[in-house]
Every structure is written in structure tokens, then in C-alpha cells.
Amino acid sequence: MSRTNSAQREESRSRVGGKQQFSDNKQRMEWRRFFHTGVLVFCLLLLVRACLVSAFVIPSGSMAPVLRGGHRIKSCPCCGYEVAVGYVPRSGGEEIAHRARCPNCGQEFPVTDAPIVGGDRILVDKNVFHWRDPRRWEVVVFSPLEASVEDPLFYVKRVVGLPGESIRLWEGDVYANGQLCRKSWRQMREMRQIVMDMDYPPCPQGWSYRWLVEPSEGDPRLPRQEASFQVQRAGTEVLQGGTLTFHAAQTPQSQQCLTYRHWDYQQQREEPLRAENTYNGAVRGRAFLPPIHDFGLECVVEVLTCHPTGELALRLFDGADPAEAIIPIGGDQRRSYHLWAARRDRNVTTCAQPWQGGTSHSLAFACIDRRAVLVVDNKVLLWLDLPPVQRRSAVSRPLQLGVRGACLRLRHFRLFTDVYYYHDGIHASEQAAHLGPDEYFLLGDNSANSTDSRHWKYPGIPRSAMVGRPFLIHQPLRAVSVPWTKGSSRVTQMLDWSRLRWLR
């Protein structure tokens, strides 16, 4: 009997040992499979890196604010808006830009105490131009003509001129063969530069200095274009923090109108909007900067209450002509959305459902490159091209809003402008630059601080010099303070998730 029990125990031990050995072998196989998979993925990444994409670091701020080189970031002490200023040291150690000017409120402040952040890291598609030609308004990476194999050099610029064209720059815009080059809404959005973000109200004045209340008489759909009316700043019933509220729902004929004026909070005066890139730091003699004429707005509109015949009206003025948009509010039937331009001798209309009470809508309206665009709920609803003009006046009051028969709340309101291309340099300024059959005219968005086709000996860059198209800012950085030892911290650089995005 004992011999039988002993045999059973031996058999049980052998089974347990076999199971343990099987488990160990299975674990080793899993680790081996994991290792082989990791090696395969690593090899695939190397293959993709070698054949399909490349990673580049932006060395300078010639494409700011879309792409940043080495820079400092500091929040404005007046409104809290984050301002990025390029870090460009001189040979003696002194920085060229040691003060910043907030694009939101105009406050100037020092930035030399802010930590230095490295340039953006981008991924570049190296094969896209093997299948198609570079397109206008597209960002490209290329190797300049003076680069050598032993000392490779790469630039990042934007394509503005195509092969065979004659390029001329005038009042910040690009003309090809005498025709104004216009952008689509997607391109406008990609290249915009913010000049006011109402989510960052300046303290302690708030935004009341920038919003003027129109007299109640006049056009019930829009305030007057003239700026000669009696100045009356918006009160708390209209403006609370960064939110605008229109109370015009007492009767179907009730109306409320506001005009935006560009007010410099530091100088305490109204002034025209000018072509200033805050990435370059505070500029002395700003009065000599050229005025800008391309404007746009975006916000979220909440319809609180409305009558069946309510309307929201918007007007943008570029120094030559107004562009007006009319959005219907209330009612069960389809109504007309209108886009008027050039004193209403040009217009386009579409029928759609009006906005209803209790709903919220995203709204964007722009007049850039003499093209008016109305975007509702992320869909381009109407667009209209205005004829080019030779001269436009400086603009300090580019925007007017009017509401009739409705109560609306506007949140996340932002005013923006387009890239301004300075017509200086030896090409495309006084005379047009003529491109060959395989050449492209390239400019930096930060044209006040960019060496590009305007300044090179030969303005055209051949297609053979194109390396690829950037498609992702994959590692933008920001400075953060992290705990280091007890009672102390250290500043380091970490990924800035807010700027991780695709480049279209």
C-alpha cells in the first residue's frame, strides 16, 4: 500500500514539474515573440525614416507663429495671454529681442527672465513631390542652391509662386501674373494670426475700451460704417469678462449694435492695426509699420431667445469696402443667409434652416485677400470675391456686430488677421519676379525677419531642391517647473500637447 502511495506521489511531482516546465517554456516563447516584434517594429521605423519621412528641427523663426525656432514664452502681466518671442543671441551674448509686446492687449514686458525653449520638431513627407507638384500656400522643406553634400542645409518656407508666373507683392498680398492670389478658408485658418482673444481680458479695465455701443437709430440690421458717432463704451449688461451678450428680444424690431475699435491699453489710445509679428519682440517706432487690411473673426454663438424674424449681422471693413453677412434667427421655415460686398452691389444668398432658440453654433467670418467667407458650424456656407484695389486706408475699427429680435451670447470670441508679406528686397517688390518653367517663389510667414526669394540672388527655387512637405508638429516643447529636491524645483522642457497638430 505504501509503495502504491509513493508511486502516486512521484507521478504527481512529475506532473507538477511538467506543468512548471511548460509554463516556463511558454513564458520564454512570449518574451522571444515580444523581442522579435520589437526588433521588427524598430526596423520598420528605420525603413520609414530612411525612405518615407524625416525629422527636422526648426532653427529660426522665419515661419513664426506657425513654426517656432528657439524662443521664450511668458504670460502677459496684464491679460495672461502667452506670448512667444524668438531667441536670437548676438555674438556678444546680448539678445536682439529682450522685450515682448502682447498681441492681445498691447502690454510690453521683459522676457529675458523666461527660460529658453527649443525649436519645433516636424515630420516631413519626403515622397509627396514625387507624385505631385508643390501647391500654392503649402509649407515645404528644401535645400538652397548654395548647400553642398558635405555641408547640407535645409530651409522651411511657404510656396507663393508657381512655375512660369510673374510674382509681385503689394500691401501684404501676393499677385501672380497680375491676379490677386486668394486663399481657401482652410488656408486662411492655417495662416491666421490672432490680434485679440476675449478669453484673456486685460486687468483691470476689461474689454470695455474696445467695444463701442451704437445709437439705436439707423439700419436695423447693421450699425453705420462711419466712426463719427458719439463714443459710448460697452457696459456690464453687454460685456462680462470675455463674453458678449446682445439683449434685443423685447420686440421683433428691437436691436443692439456694437463696433470694435482697436485700443492700445498701454498707450491708452485708439490706433490702426499694423503688420507686427510679436515673435520678433517689441518694435520701436510701430507707427511706421504698414497697416493691415485682412481680418476675420470666430466665436461660439448661443441663441437664448428669439422672435421668428430675428437676425444677426456682421460687417468687416478692409480699408476699401465693407463685407456684410446676415444670418437669420428664429422661425420654422427655411430663410436666406446673405453675404454682401462692395457696398451691396455684389451678393450671394443661400437658403437654410435659421438658428433656433436654445441652440449653439460655431461662427467664422473673414475678409482676406479680398475674399469674404462665411462659415457656420465648420461648413463654408457662402463666399464672395471682391475686385482688387490699389490703395486702402488704415483701419482701426474693422468690425461691427448687430442683432435684431433676438438675445444672443457670444463666447470664445477671437479676432485675427492674415500673414502680411513685406514687399522689400530685390525681387517682387518694385518689379515682378519672373519664374522659370520649374521654379517656385518661396516666402517666410514672418517676412519681416525672413531671408527668402525676395533677397536671394535667384528668386526661383527649382523643384529638384524640394525635400518634402512638413505634415506634423510632433514634438513642440514648453518650459515647465518640476519638483527637484525638498523645497526646490528645476525648469525643464516637456511636450506641449496644445501645439501638437497636423500641418495641412
* Amino acid letter, 315: R
Distance in angstroms (rounded) separating the CA atoms of residues 55 and 58: 10
Nearest CA to 68 out of 497, 492, 493, 475 is that of 475
Nine cell digits for residue 40: 521588427
CB burial readout 141-175, b (16+ within 10 A) else e? bbbeeeeeeeeeebbbbbbbbbbebbbbbebbbbb
Distance in angstroms (rounded) separating the CA atoms of residues 290 and 283: 13
Contact 309, 331 (CB under 8 A): yes
CA dist list (Å): 218 to 222, 224, 226, 404: 8, 7, 12, 12
Helix, strand, coil percentages, rounded to 5, for the chain: 15, 40, 45
Write out the DSSP string of 435-463.
P-TTEEEEE-SSGGG--STTTSSS-EEEG
Distance in angstroms (rounded) separating the CA atoms of residues 435 and 166: 6
Nine cell digits for residue 309: 424674424
CA dist list (Å): 419 to 157, 194, 365, 404, 424: 13, 10, 17, 34, 15
Q: How many residues does the chain have?
A: 504
Give catalytic residues, as residue numbers. Answer: 62, 157
Contact 446, 277 (CB under 8 A): yes
* Amino acid letter, 458: Y
Contact 142, 466 (CB under 8 A): yes
